[in-house]
Structure 1
Amino acid sequence: MTDWWLWMYVAAMAGGVALFTRWRADPRGVPLSEYRVAIAIPFWSGLWYLVMALGGGRAEVAGHTVYWARYADWVVTAPLLLVALMLTGTHSLPGRRWRLMTALVGANVVMILSGLVADLTTDGTARYTLYAIGVLALLVVYGLVWGPLRAHARRQPAGIAAVYTEAALLLSVLWAGYPVFWILGPSGVGLLGSTTTSVLLVGLSILSKVGWSIVDLGRLRALSDRGHLTVV
């Protein structure tokens, strides 16, 4: 059953690549860089889930299967999602906020690597300590998204600022599911089995990657259709 869900995920990512490639051919005022990011996310993620669907990208640790390929996916795609969010949050503003972007990506990478090392650790105390570090890193990401980046977004026209708020809220809600499923699954207290956890993570990841990008790009394209989007 798990493998079936993995193949479904690969198909969903392929569909995302096809959709965003089609949208890129008719950008409707949205910068091509945003389409490149949107295409790269499901492409990279789909490759790693293809590895898992074929039986790779996993290891047995402390009696449960660790899908390390998920982390190889997340360590690239999660920062790219933040790049996409930042492009929306600063769309009509001149210049790039490199320090803010570095802080966002840095905290995000700490969160993901903490989860990976925790998954590979057999000592319970060390595992939950690393999990706590990952959760704190996620809170830092939330603080940056809803603090300085939101402040930049509010300096934009109301329509674009509203798109940022919607995209940030959706991403924040979806990302909250990852630490919840981790702690409830085999890596944590074990209330959820390996198959159930895999299915939940597959659904969550489809929504977080392809679903979120559809909302973000779709709202920007709609603004352009109404003449409220300007390429800078």
Structure 2
Amino acid sequence: MDPAITLLFVVLLAIPAVIVVLGVRRERRRSRAPGWELRTGTVLGQPVLLTDSSFAARPGAQDRMLLEQFRPGTEVEVLLPTGVLPPGASTESSAPATARLTARLTVGAVKRSLRGGWPTANLGYGIYFAEYDGSELPTAVPVLRHRSLTSLRFDLDGLGIVGADNREQAVPWAQVDFSNGPDLKVRIPGYGVLTFEERHLGASYRVTEELLIKYGTFRQLHF
């Protein structure tokens, strides 16, 4: 066989392999680059770093990257939302009400939840800071026209419930699983999975949702 033809044949065989290698390298670089957007929001009266809802239901490389970057104990420089003061700051601060201040805060917890995209179940994360841990607790929420419960109470130890039979029960946060979608589903030992709609919680629906996100554990209970 002509050497030139042989060389051409070898080159043609090598091209697909090169394309595959380049594609793999590009995919690896992409998986190592953050694919999420991050913003500072106000949740429960405190600053929280919120991702978009670009994470799949099954945790992957992007989830691991985020959790590594924001491990509990990590210090983060945060541009606070307008009107939110740094921990310990006086409410009589001379800064204008529209001024945005910065604070160096310590990551306390990183929590998953469904923050948008229903019903595709793409998830987002909230990064909470230790300086505000428990600042919104304790708080009680009446439950209206629910067949199983009459009230919820949130504190640092867990979720307290009062059943329709007036039986009280305290559930540690480690045992409280929730799923937020078009309604709230909460798994409570002894009760199974309970569903809460806005009519059950009234104006406290969003507060209840955010407290469950911050202190409970997200599990997909809607499917």
Task: Classify the TM-score, shorter chain.
Answer: under 0.3
Rg bigger for which structure?
Answer: 2
Query: 1 or 2, which has the higher strand percentage?
Result: 2
- State TM-score, norm by structure 2: 0.25
Q: Which has the higher contact order (CA 8 A, sep 6+)?
A: 1
